[in-house]
Structure 1
Amino acid sequence: MLKIVTGSIARRMSALLLLFVVGFAGLTAYQLTNIHNNLIDLKKAEIKSVIETAVTMLGNYDARVQAGEMTLDAAQTEAKAMLHAINYSGDDYVFAVTHDYVMIVNANPAVVDTNMRDRTDTNGKRFIEEYTDGARTQGSIFTTFMFSGANPDAPAIEKLTYVQNFAPWSWAIGTGVLQTDIDAIYQENALSSALIALGVIAVLMLAGWLIVRSLTKPITALNGQMAELADGKFDITIQGTGRADEIGAMARAVDVFRDNGEKIAHMTQAEAARILRDEETRKEMMTELQSAFGSVVDAAAEGDFSQRVTADFPDPELNALASSVNSLVKTVDTGLAETSQVLSALANADLTKRVEGLYEGAFGRLKDDTNAVAIKFSDIVGRLRDTSGQLKLATGEILSGANDLSERTTKQAATIEETSAAMEQLAATVTQNSTRAKSASDNAIASTRSAEEGGVVMAEATQAMERIATSSSKISNIIGMIDDIAFQTNLLALNASVEAARAGEAGKGFAVVAVEVRRLAQSSAQASTEVKALIEQSALEVRGGTRLVADAAAKLDEMLDGVRANSELLEGIARDSSEQASAIQEVGVAVRQMDEMTQHNAALVEEINASIEQTEGQAIQLDGIVEIFSVHQAPAEPLRHAAPPRRKAAPAYRAQGNTAIKMDDWESF
C-alpha cells in the first residue's frame, strides 16, 4: 500500500482508477441481484393476479347457478371455454384440474379429460397431485417442477406454478411461467447493465490513462531536453511551449535558455571568451539547475510531489523557471492530493468530500469527473436511504394491520367454532323431531286406514238396513194381499153359509165347512193384521236405524276427513323436518368449512406477519448499510408517506337466531 502511495504518478492514479472500478463493479453486482429477486416476485404477482381474476369469474358463474339463472352443467361448460381462452404473455395459459386429478382445461388437448395423478416430471415428482392437494388443503400454493411440454423428448425446464382452489366445484385453477422466460428477461437486463458498467469503466480508464499520459510524457520529455541543453545542444526544438498549463510555462522558460545559448554560440571570440567564462558560470548554474530540477522532476516521476527547487540563482530567468517548476509541481501535488482525498473518502463511505481547488486543463477535467462520481454516489445513497425509509414505514403499517387482522381472525375462528357446535346440536334436535313426526305420521296413516275401513263397514250396514226396509215393505205388501185374500175368503164362506142355509138339511155339512173356513179366514185376517202391524213397526224401526246409521256414517266421514288432514299435516311436518335437518347439516358442513378456511386464514396471516417482519429486518439492514455513507444534507425529494388505509363499512351480521354473532366481540371488526 505504501509503495502505491509513494510510487509514480501513473501508479498512483492507476490505483485510484482501480479502486473506483472495483467499487462500481460491486455496486453493479448488487443491483443485478436485486433485479433478479424483484423479477421473480414480479412474475409471482403476475401469475397470481391472472388466477385470482379467473377464480373471480368462476365465482360469478357459480352465483348465477345458485340464483337459478343457469344449470350447473351449462355454467361449467362456459367456464371451461372462458379458462381455455385466457392467454397472456405470449404462450402462457391457464389450466384446471378437478380434486380427483382429472385435467379438464389445458392448452394440450391430448391431456384433457385424463386422470393426471400419476404424472411425474423428470425428477420423479408427482407435481399434479402435489399442487392439486396443496390448493385443496391450503387454498393456494406456489410450486416448481421440471416441465418438458407436449414433447417428452424435449429437455426439461424448471417451471414456477401458482394454483388456487375453487371449492364450490372442487376445481383447482392454475398457471405457470418457465424459468427460461424469467432468465431471458434477467439476462437482457443484466447484459444492459453490464454493458453500461463496462462502458463507464472503459471511459474512466481511458480518461485516466490520457490524464496520466498527458502529465508524465511532457514532463519526461522536458527533463530530457534540459539535459541536452546542459550538454550544449541548442539546435533542438522545445516541446510543449504552446500549452496553457504549468508544463507549458516550464517549456517556454527552457526555450528562453535555448535561445540564449544559441546566441552565445554566434558571438565573437572575445565575446566568446567572455561568454565562455560566463558559460562556465552558466554551466555551473545549469549544473546546479539540473541538479535542483532533476531531483524535483525525478521525485515527481516517481510520484513524490513534495520536492521543490530551493536554489537561488543570480539569473532572474532561472529563478522564474524554478518558480514555474515549483508552481507546476505544487499544482500537480495539490490536484492529486485532493483527488486522492476524495477517492479515499469514497472508499471509506464518506461521500461529502469534493475537489475544491481551481484547476484548468486536464486537472480541471479530473476535478469535474471526480466530483461527478462523488455527486452520483451521493445521489444513489440518498435515494437508497429514502427508499429504505419508505420501506420501513410501509412494512410497519402493513405489520400493524396484519397483527390486527390476526387478532380478529382468531376471534372469528372462536365464534365460528361456537356456531358450528350450536348447529350440530340444532341438527340433532331437528333430526329427533323429524323422527318423532315421522312416527306420528305413521300412526295417523294407520288411524286413517282404520277409519276408512269403519266407513266401509258403516256403508255396508246402511245398505243392509236399506235392503231390510225394502224387504219389510215387500212383506207388508204380501201381508196386505193375504189380508185381502182372507177377507175375500170370509165373504165366500159367508155366501157359502147363506147358500147352505137355503139348502136346509142337505147343506148342513157344507155350512159347517163354510163356518170353519170363515173362522180360518178371520183368524188369517187377524194374524195378517198383527203381522202387518209388526212389519210396519219393524219397518219404522228399520227406517230409524237407517237414519242413525246414515248419521253415524256422515260423522265417520267427517272424522275420516279430519284424520286425513291431520295425516297430511303430519306427513308435511315430517317431510319439512327431514328437509330442515338436511339443510342444517349442509349449513353445519359450510360452517365447518368456514372454520377450516378461517383457521387457514389465521395461519396465512401468521406467515404474512413473519414475512413482513423479515422484510422489515432487511430494510433495517439496508438502513445500516446506507448509514455507513456520509452525505451532504442537501434538500432531497420528500418522502412519500404511505396513504392511510381506507376504512370500509363494517359488514352487517345477524343479531338474532342461532347464527347471531356477539356484537361485543365484533365492535372493531
Structure 2
Amino acid sequence: MTITARVRSGAIALILLLAIAFAVSAWRIHAIRMGGPMHRASMEIADLNADILPPPEYIIEPYLEATLLLDHPERIDATRARLAELRKAYDDRHAVWEQSALPDHLKRAILADTHTPAMRFWQEAQGSFLDAIAANDMGTARARYAVLTQAYDAHRKAIDALVKATAEEQAAFGDRSSQSLWASIGALTLLALALFGTIGWFAWWLTRRVAQPLAQVAQATTTLSRGQDTAIPYRDRTDELGNIAQAVARFHAAARSRAEMDAAHLAEQENVGEMLGAALAALEKGDLRHRITSPFPGVYEPVRVSFNRAASALSAMLRTTIHGARNIGTGSSEIATASEDLAHRTETTAHTLQETSAAIQLIENRLKSSSQSAEATMARAEQAGAMVHAGRSTAQNAAIAMNSVSERANAIDTVVEGLDKISFQTRVLAMNAAVEAGRAGEAGRGFAVVADLVSALALRAEEEAKRGRDLINETQIDVATAASEVRAVDAALVEIVENFDGVQELLQALREDNRSQASAISDITRSVVEMETATQQNAAMVEQTSAAARSLDREAATLLGNAEAFRVDEEVAGYRSGASEAAFEMAY
C-alpha cells in the first residue's frame, strides 16, 4: 500500500471519527440544553405545580367566594360573576393539560382525580347553591354549602396527593438529568480519548514509516552528491519512498558512467587546447600564415578545419583591406578638396539669400503698415456707418413722434370742440334759468344772479375754447411742416446710407487685397528664410563633410599602417578584387 493511500485512509478515518464525535456531542447537548427535551419536561412539571396551587386548578378561591356569599347574601351578583371568571380560568387550564405531554400518572391525577370532585363543586356552586341564595332560602343554602364542602375536601385531598406526586416526579427527573449529563460527559470523554489515540498513532506511523526513511534516503543522496560512494536504503519498498530510492540509484549509476566519459573527453580537450593555443598565439603575433596540420580527434576536427578556413579568409580579407585603404586615402583627399570648394560657393549663396531676405522683409513691413492703415480706415468707416444708421433711426423716430403729435392735436381739437358745445349749452341753460327766475319774481332773484354768473362763465369758456382751437390749428400746421422736414431728412439719410455702404464695400475690397498681398509676401519671406536656413545648414554640412573627408584621409593612413603590420599569404599572380571579395564572403 502506498504512502499516499495510507495518508488518505488515515485522513478519512480521522474525519469520520470527528464527525461521529460532533454528532454525539450535538445529540447530547441538544438533550440537556436550555429549551431541550429535559428542560421542557422540567418546565411542564413546574407549570403543573404552579397551576395546582390556587388558582385556577385548585378551587380554594371559589370555595372562599361561596363561604363569603353564605355570610353576605347581598353580594350574590358579584359572586356569580366572580365564580364565572374562575370557572372559565379552570376550564382553560384544564384544556391545556389535556394536550400536555406529562407522565401518565400525573396526567391521570390532574385530569381525573382532581377534576371529578372539582366538577361536582362547580355544579353545586353555580347551580343549587346560587339558586338557594337568590331565593333567600338560607336553610337550603347551608345544606348545599355542606355538599360544596364535601366536594372541596375531596378535591383538596386529590390536590395534596398531586403536589406530592409532582414533587417526587421532579426529584426523579433531576436524578435522570444528572445521570444523562454524566453519561454525555463519559461518551464525549471516550470519543476524545479515541480521537487523541488515533492522532497519536497516526503521528507515530508517519514518523516511523515516512519521516525516518526519508531522512535516511536524503542522507544517502547528500553523500552521493559529494562524490562519495554509499548504499541507497529502502530500494525494496513498493511505495513512493521505494521509487525515490530506485531513482537515486539510477541517477548514481548514470553519474558514474558520465564521469568516466568526461575523463576521456578531458584528455582529448587538453590535446586540442594545446594545438589551438599555439595557433592563437601565432594569430596574436599577427602571423596569419599559420595553419593547424595535425588532425583533431572526433568531434573537434571541424574546429581545426574552421580555424584554417578562417585564417585563410582573414588573410585574404586583410590583403583586400590594404588595397582598399590605399584607394580610400586617394579618394578622401579628392573629396576634401571638392568639399572645400563647395563650402566656399555655399557661403556666397547664403550671403546673397540673406540680402534678398532683408529686402523682402522691408517690403513685407511696408505692406503690413498699409494693411494696418486700411484696417484703421475700415474701422472708422464702420463707426461712421453705425452713426449714420443711428441718425436715420433717430429721424424715423422723430417722424413717428411728429405723426403722433399731429394725431393728438386732432384729438385735442375734438375735445375743444366738445367744450365749445358744452359752453353753448351751458349759456342756453343759464338764459332759461334767468327767464324762470324772472317769472318767480322776488323769490328767484338770487337764482337769477347765479344764472347770470353761469352765463358769463359759459361765454368765457366758449372764448377760451375758440382760442385753444386757433392755437391747435397753428400747432397742427407747424407739426405738419416739421414732419415734412423730418421725412426729407430721412430720405437724405437713406441716400447717404446707400452711398456710404458703397464706400464701405470698396474699403472692404481694398482691405482684402492688402491682406492677400501681405499674406503672399509673408509666404515669400518665409520661403526665403527657409532657403537661407537650408543654405546655411548646407554650408555647415559641407564644412562637416570636408572635415570628415580630412579625418577619413587620416584614418585611412592609420588603417593602412595597421593592416601592413600583419603577415599574410603572398599574393598569387593574376590577383583580382573579385577573388578577395569571394574570400571575404567565405569568411562570413
How high is the TM-score relative to the length of structure 1?
0.28
Give the structure with the higher percent strand.
Answer: 1
Name the structure, 1 or 2, with higher relative contact order (CA <8 Å, separation 6+): 2
How high is the TM-score relative to the length of structure 2?
0.31
Instruction: Pick the structure with greater CA Rg.
Output: 2
Give the structure with the higher percent helix.
Answer: 2
